[in-house]
Amino acid sequence: MDAPLSAVNQRLYTPANELAVHAMRLQAQSLRDLIGNGPTAKQRAKALAFTFGSLHVDFSKQRLTQKTIALLIEWARSCGIEARRQAFFAGEMVNPSEQRAALHMAARWPETATPPAGMEYAAAFCQQQRARMAKMVKRVHAGEWFGATGQTITNIVHIGVGGSDLGPKLISESLADLPSSTKVGVHYVSTMDGSQILPLMERLNPATTLIVLASKSFTTADTHFNARTVLAWLSSALEVDEATICRYQLIGVSSKPEKMTTFGIPESHQLVFKEWIGGRFSLWSPIGISVAMQLGTECFDALLDGAHAMDRHFIDTPLATNLPALLALVGAWNCQFLNIPTHVVLPYDGRLKSLSAYLQQLEMESNGKKIGLDGRSVNHATCPIMWGDVGPNAQHAFYQLLHQGGHTVSADFVAVATREVNAPDKVQESLASQEQLTLANCLAQAQLFALGDEAIPVALKGQIAQGYRGNHPNSFLLLKQLDPWSIGALLALYEHKVFVQSVLWNLNPFDQPGVELGKQLATSLYQTLADKSVEQENVEDPSTTQLLAKLNDWKKA
């Protein structure tokens, strides 16, 4: 006998199913209708905006209602978010494929606060390494770090890639105009092709340049090949052997001290972080040393404080007002339930030009996966394709497609409300109007993304060609100012967003098995290129064989 309908419904009921039905209903409306006008609309907008310290996040241009938020929270609870969050902070093995915890939060846990049970050893270890790092930074700033020929250090070249580069580089760029900046110049080198190191070798003084070799595994080819080139440069320019350069002009940062020792870096110039800090979460560890070299230890500490404040907020705050949880839920809502496949990050501040690259690694390397923790394939979209650029420039590049093309995207607009500039009055005045112009553009584009033609003011209707599609749901992230605390909190917000989404999708966000095969294939093709004997090699496809032949041909010529 068929079960009564209500019993069937009961069985089919899951928060995710309920969300799917709810999504269909909301998709039938335009964002304009949803955002509305009048007192109820104001109430909706107010309920969807949240302030935490100097960070303000406004979700009111998203395709959602308060009911959506309630359903999303119910879904997160049904996925066990609260217990998983606790396990994460308690140092449990949340990265099962690599059999380890994920405790980057320990790297920013202040000495003055008691860490959660399970994190004590990790926090103490990180604090000890942070103190070692501070001493090295102090030595350089005091002019007491001497290179192989006895001169004091004036420039740092930070060599690393992925997580060993993106975070520190983003912070160095974002905070470069702080008055606390020291006189030490910091330069980042990541690409394996030598294109970044080459101009630096031409302009830096080899006698006063200190190299930071940043690599968690200490085996990444990109970093090692750059290191070899830089060692060759320093040794030939200073006429000392490479072992001496390693002793005087190299700092190593890695989770593999034994490999640093084999490389020739003395123990006193090594900084260590443990396996339980993932590469893309390692900015807070001694991987951030170049930030401290550039901006000072106090500034680096303030960055950690901002991130730590976000950790506390994430653990202590109920889901309904928990910023990382909300950012994650809104993101999952957009890609999984509203089927929006890409997410664009648009910082309206040139200092944040590397934010989207940083978030690309953070989000896509973490949750760009389809196999769940249970070994089964997830049958819906997970992490969206992340992309982006500095908003004001992007307006003159890809916004045309976003406004009148066929694709729907979701977006994060990131803006900075105030900026202090030390300049003559007239310059300050002019810069203030630039700041205002930028903010006005950011607000206008966020509005246009959501409302399309409906954003055109009545007075301009008829004068402006219509056809703006709108209906791109977007969040607005506003920083009161771009200071170390605020950007620390912002990045930790995104880190925890990634964690929450991994729980929703039952993924392991802390491994990256998908990047391994490319490295192995490149190693064998590297040999093939070096041998120049394509014909004898067992290259798997005629397309690659043909390209190899062409390359070898041109190299011989």
CB of 167 to ligand F6P, least distance (A): 9
Measure the CA–CA gap between 109 and 392, rounded to whole angstroms: 36
The tokens for 278 are 């993932």
Residue 162 is a binding residue for ligand F6P (CB under 6 A): yes
Give Cβ neighbours of residue 482 (< 8 Å, ≥ 6 apart): 174, 175, 349, 351, 352, 416, 419
**Positions in 362-381 near ligand F6P (CB under 6 A):** 365
In the complex with ligand F6P, which residue's Cβ is closer, 105 or 534? 105
Task: Kindly give, in sequence order, each residue whose CB lies less than 8 Å from that of residue 123, ignoring residues fewer than 6 positions away.
Answer: 106, 109, 115
- Shortest Cβ 451–ligand F6P spacing (Å): 39
Integer Cα distance of 498 and 45 in angstroms: 25
Interface with ligand F6P includes 164 (CB under 6 A)? yes
Stretch that binds ligand F6P, among 105-113, 156-164, 338-346, 410-418 (CB under 6 A): 156-164
Using the rule CB under 6 A, give the single segment among 62-70, 151-159, 216-224, 464-472 that binds ligand F6P: 216-224
550 carries an active-site annotation: no
61 among known catalytic residues: no
- Cβ-proximal residues to 124 (8 Å cutoff; 6+ apart), any chain: none
Q: Letter for the amino acid at 422?
A: N
Applying CB under 6 A, does 108 fall inside the site for ligand F6P? Answer: no
Work out whether the CA dihedral 106, 108, 110, 111 comes out positive or negative: positive
Task: Report the residue from 24, 176, 515, 549 that binds ligand F6P according to the rule CB under 6 A.
Answer: 515
- The catalytic position among 183, 202, 239, 396 is 396
Q: Which residues contact 81 (CB under 8 A, 6 or more apart)?
A: 319, 325, 500, 503, 504
Q: Which stretch binds ligand F6P (CB under 6 A): 55-63, 157-165, 379-387, 443-451?
A: 157-165
Q: Is 396 noted as a catalytic residue in this protein?
A: yes
Q: What is residue 215's three-state secondary structure?
A: coil
Q: Judged by CB under 6 A, which stretch of 67-75, 128-136, 155-163, 435-443 contacts ligand F6P?
A: 155-163
> Is residue 217 close enough to count as binding ligand F6P by CB under 6 A?
yes
Report whether 417 contacts 478 (CB < 8 A): yes
Q: Which residues within the stretch 241-280 sit at the binding site for ligand F6P (CB under 6 A)? A: 279-280
Size of the site for ligand F6P (CB under 6 A): 14
Strand 209-214 to 250-254 pairing: parallel
Question: Nearest to residue 170, comparing CAs of 280, 332, 39, 21?
Answer: 280
| 209 contacts ligand F6P (rule: CB under 6 A) | no
Q: Which stretch binds ligand F6P (CB under 6 A): 161-169, 343-351, 387-395, 436-444?
A: 161-169
Chain mean position to CA 359: 3
- Under rule CB under 6 A, residue 223 binds ligand F6P: yes
| Tokens 């800090």, located at residue | 277
* Candidate residues 322, 336, 512, 528; the one interacting with ligand F6P per rule CB under 6 A: 512
> Using CB under 6 A, which of the segments 77-85, 183-191, 210-218, 230-238 binds ligand F6P?
210-218
List b or e across 206-232, with b for residues whose CB sees 16 or more CB atoms inside 10 angstroms: bbbbbbbbbbbebebebbbebbebbbe
Q: Which of 363, 365, 435, 495 is catalytic?
A: 365
Strand ranges, E, within 218-261: 250-254
Q: Identify the residue among 147, 163, 286, 347 touching ligand F6P (CB under 6 A).
A: 163
> Residue 164 or residue 208: which is nearer to ligand F6P going by CB?
164
* Phi, psi (deg, nearest 5) at residue 227: -65, -40
CB of 461 vs ligand F6P, minimal distance in Å: 50
Q: Which is nearer to ligand F6P, 223 or 235 (CB)?
A: 223
Catalytic residue among 67, 380, 461, 519: 519
Phi, psi of 547 (to 5 degrees): -65, -40
Asked if 215 is part of the footprint of ligand F6P (rule: CB under 6 A), the reply reads yes
Contact track, ligand F6P, 309-348, x by CB under 6 A: ----------------------------------------
Tally of CB atoms within 10 A around 192? 16
For the CA atoms of 59, 62, 67, 69, what is the dihedral angle to 10 degrees? -50
Instruction: Lay out the site mask for ligand F6P across 410-449 (x = CB under 6 A, - = otherwise).
Output: ----------------------------------------
- Positions marked catalytic: 365, 396, 519
Which residues are near ligand F6P by CB under 6 A?
161-164, 215-217, 220, 223, 279-280, 365, 512, 515
